[in-house]
Amino acid sequence: MIKNIILKPKGPFLLKKLAGFTGDKIIGKSNIIIKNISSTENAINGSITFLDNKKYFKSLNATKASACIISEDVLKKYKFTKDISFLVSKNPYLSYAKLLNFFYPDTKSLKKDKKKDIVVSNSSEISNNVDLKSNVSIGDKTIINSFSSVGPNVYIGKNCFIGNNVSISNSYIGNNVVIQDGTIIGQDGFGYVLDGKKYIKVPQIGIVKIDDDVEIGSNCAIDRGSLNFTEIKNGVKIDNLVHIAHNVEIGENTAIAGQSGVAGSVKIGKNCQIAGKVGIVGWLEITDNVTVMAGTLVTKSLKQPGVYSGVMPVQNHKDALKFAAKLKR
């Protein structure tokens, strides 16, 4: 079911054609065939990936990609053991954004939805004023309330409840999922890159994947993955007014309280409790069985189970209490 809602790229294209489009130079084979754009870990033969941060260069030696967009600085400093071709760019992230537009031109389309490929179970209950767009499948005994919008590219499983004024696009939703009023799932994440003095939008082509028995409160926003998934795993509970950015992964049976924000590409483990007004900086990892107290700003990965608190910055809860005690003296 998931593959049916993932965008299909245009192409394939020769690497030299892509280089002509971005204005980058090629090091390696110019006639290799490129079929898609992918992250380093999910790339296959025929994929092109990108690397714009030196600390992730090791992932390139493990990738199956055929080509990589890279800066000359990184290429000079590190030796790569892979037989891989390079597009050498002054701004790899900008070149990546340009190629996404090349492979996925329809992400910019403002054409009216044609409302095709809609499958709705006879046992579901869909309010008359729900807007169903193209490529939508709705399972048995699912309820969708008034003024909600579903699609394009959405699969919803069995026994789900979707409240009023909910918007869902580019998403896979499992069974027994509850989504309360006003929540938006599967819209674009916050992806921009500077081109000179102006920002260029980085197309978002991934999806949101929500597993079984998940509950999501009112007026939340869960962004689609930039390339792959934003993933909410089995049994997760999310309070009202929570923002989950693109590429985030939330482990099984984790609960997140209201007004918390999780920045892009964060990984949160199983059985965690994130209290209200917690902010989590992008690209961090939080291990299983972690509790983060209310109002905490998490600025580093939390690799040990336990209770953490503190406003600036996060620290072990016992250390935070000692610090607070010193302030009272």
| Global pTM value | 0.91
pLDDT category at 55 given cuts 50, 70, 90 is: low
* pLDDT given for residue 317 in this prediction: 84
Residues 6 or more apart from 281 whose CB is under 8 A from it? 263, 266, 297, 298, 299
Amino acid at 70: I
Residue 314 has pLDDT above 90, yes or no: no
Q: 93: part of which helix (H) or strand (E)?
A: helix 92-103
For 25-29, 34-38, 56-60, which range has the lowest pLDDT when averaged over its residues?
56-60
Residue 178 has pLDDT above 70, yes or no: yes
CA torsion 38-39-42-46 (nearest 10°) is 40
Helices (H), 23-84: 58-62, 72-77
Correct CATH for 118-328 of 1.10.357.140, 3.20.20.390, 2.160.10.10, 3.40.50.300: 2.160.10.10
Active site residue 317: no
Residue 128: CB atoms within 10 A of its CB come to 5
CATH class entry, domain 7-108: alpha beta
| Residue from 96, 166, 246, 260 carrying the catalytic annotation | 246
Given a contact cutoff of 8 angstroms between Cβ atoms, the answer to whether 241 and 205 are in contact is no
* pLDDT given for residue 111 in this prediction: 59
* pLDDT given for residue 260 in this prediction: 98
**In the predicted model, what is the mean pLDDT of residues 225-229?**
95
- Taking all residues of the chain, what is their mean pLDDT, rounded to a whole number? 93
Strand 221-222 and strand 243-244: pairing?
A: parallel
Residue 140 has pLDDT above 80, yes or no: yes
pLDDT tens track for 83-116: 899 999 999 999 999 999 999 987 765 456 678 8
* pLDDT given for residue 38 in this prediction: 94
Question: Which residues make up the CATH 3.40.1390.10 domain(s) of the chain?
Answer: 7-108
Strand 85-88 and strand 67-70: pairing?
A: parallel
